[in-house]
Amino acid sequence: MMKTPSICSPLFALLVIFSCSWAVSSDGYDDFIQCMSLQSNNDSSISNVVYTPNNTSYSSILNFSIQNLRFTSETTPKPLLIVTPVQESQIQPIIYCAKENGMQIRVRSGGHDYEGLSYASEVPFVILDLFNLREISVDADNKTAWVQSGSTIGELYYRISETSQTLGFPAGVCPTVGVGGHFSGGGYGALLRKYGLAADNIIDARLVDVNGRILDRKSMREDLFWAIRGGGGASFGVILAWKIQLVDVPEQVTVFTINKTLDQNATNIVHRWQYIAHKFNEDLFIGVYIRRVNSKLFFEEEAEEAEMILSPYGGRMEEISDSAIPFPHRAGNLYKIQHLVYWEQEEIEASDKYINWIRKLYSYMAPYVSRFPRAAYINYRDLDIGVNNKGNTSYAQANIWGIKYFKNNFNRLVHVKTKVDPANFFQNEQSIPSLYSWWNKNGK
Ligand code: FDA
């Protein structure tokens, strides 16, 4: 029987985007572990939160939150170590020792990154997995909550509902998504048209910076607080927790989903809806799911379990300025589109086939979507739109993908990055560049 794809289930994709696997030598991590135990005053509890490839739990810890199953393949480069702190104070030594040993850190909260940037990299790296830091405290009287980054949005909704039946939070739809990555990239769900994004409703945050200092909104200052609400947390530090503004759940929320195939006239419906959806009452959340796109190109076998999800904007999204936070896609945008394809075969050839097909679909859609730039949403991570140069992140190179995610806000993000992490310690394939670091390396 054919499996019905669902955006809330792990993506059945096994493409190998990295061609070499990382050879792990014990030297790579011995120095790091020694450094950690020195930094932690020989605290023996450190050994309980560090997993090396020799540890029997290493693979299960690595794989348990990976959503895109193509990155569980053996050829995906693996971390030298995984560290799973149980206390915030254990994070500072991790940053210090990674710097000392020339390793990159990949911070993982819920593991939903579409390109696996929180747990895979070609360079020597350590995963800092926050899944043990998942405390949530709700203050219903003041309509606020503190939520640690390792929590999922499902846990957050559950804790809010335990305390109040009338309060909620406007974040994503799938319960397993982690608040660390989701809020720092924007985060939208069924309350989008009523209250905007999750990041629009954050009022404070706690972050460990590149020097190991724990900062809150006041001490990190407004520029950095602005940057981590939509600019992607991974470029700026380790976000420990968010303070969020809870919202009143509307008495009636109408979730209206049109789930159509081509035979059911899906394209016609979408063409009509795209121009009127944003004018609808903001309590209405509309999702349009299309299977089998209207072009004989797209009746190929790869399209069997493919879908496009259209989430119309409007309502509150029209009112918020496009520079209020780094997420710039506000008034004038009709809807967001997500292109998805699912498959189960593990062979690389099969992955290539499906990936090629979705690339064709993406190109096919070009005349119908935003242009100059063709905009993108950082939480729908896509390395096809551009990546940084390896080890030498230049502004010009990063601008190619940065402008698509952030439009005019990209420059401000670069400014903040240069100020708070000049040496570009927090980096990945799509991290915000530090001008200082680039100038330094290129003798400017
Ligand atoms: P993950 O842990 O992989 O982190 C994602 C990125 O954020 C990485 O770069 C990581 O290093 C960084 N990061 C994570 N925690 C950090 C921290 N504490 N400090 C600094 N950096 C940190 N989106 C949406 O808007 N609405 C939706 O309804 C959904 N639904 C959805 C369903 C499913 C099944 C998937 C796979 C994805 C979504 N998404 C989504 C996209 C989702 O919002 C996006 O993938 C988020 O980045 C996921 O955050 P996680 O913490 O789970 O990912």
- 191-240 pLDDT, tens digit per residue, is 998 999 999 999 999 999 999 999 999 999 999 999 999 999 999 999 99
Percentage of the chain lying above the pLDDT 90 cut: 65
| 182 close to ligand 1 (CB < 6 Angstrom) | yes
Nearest CA to ligand 1 atom 28: 172
| 309 close to ligand 1 (CB < 6 Angstrom) | no
- Residue 429 confidence class, pLDDT cut points 50, 70, 90: very high
Contacts of 18 (CB under 8 A, 6+ apart): 75, 76, 77, 120, 122
**Cα angle 302, 313, 295; round to 5:** 25
Nearest CA to ligand 1 atom 15: 180
Q: Which residue has the tokens 């904007």?
A: 313
Host H or E run for residue 91: helix 91-100
| 128 close to ligand 1 (CB < 6 Angstrom) | no
Residue 161 neighbours by CB distance under 10 Å: 14
Per-residue pLDDT at 44? 63
If we measure between CA atoms, which residue out of 242, 239, 317 comes closest to residue 280? 317
**Cα angle 411, 121, 78; round to 5:** 155
Q: How far apart are CA 249 and CA 361, in angstroms?
A: 37
- 319-374 pLDDT, tens digit per residue, is 999 999 999 999 988 889 999 999 988 888 889 999 999 999 899 889 889 999 99
Q: Which atom of ligand 1 is nearest to the CA of 240?
A: 18
Q: How far apart are CA 317 and CA 224, in angstroms?
A: 23
| 260 close to ligand 1 (CB < 6 Angstrom) | no
Active site (catalytic) residues: 380
Given a cut of 60, is residue 1 above it in pLDDT?
no
Domains and CATH numbers, the chain: 26-129 (3.30.43.10), 136-248 (3.30.465.10), 255-368 (3.40.462.20), 393-441 (no CATH)
| 189 close to ligand 1 (CB < 6 Angstrom) | yes
Span from the CA of 379 to the centroid of ligand 1 (angstroms):
6
Given a cut of 80, is residue 430 above it in pLDDT?
yes
Nearest CA to ligand 1 atom 8: 118
For the entire predicted model, the pTM comes to 0.92
Q: Which atom of ligand 1 is nearest to the CA of 114?
A: 45
> 200 near 189, Cβ under 8 Å?
no
Q: Which atom of ligand 1 is nearest to the CA of 237?
A: 20
Per-residue pLDDT at 314? 85
- Residue 273 confidence class, pLDDT cut points 50, 70, 90: low
Length of the chain counted residue by residue? 444
Question: How many CA atoms are closer than 13 Å to the CA of 10, on its beta-carbon side?
Answer: 17
- Residue 62 confidence class, pLDDT cut points 50, 70, 90: very high
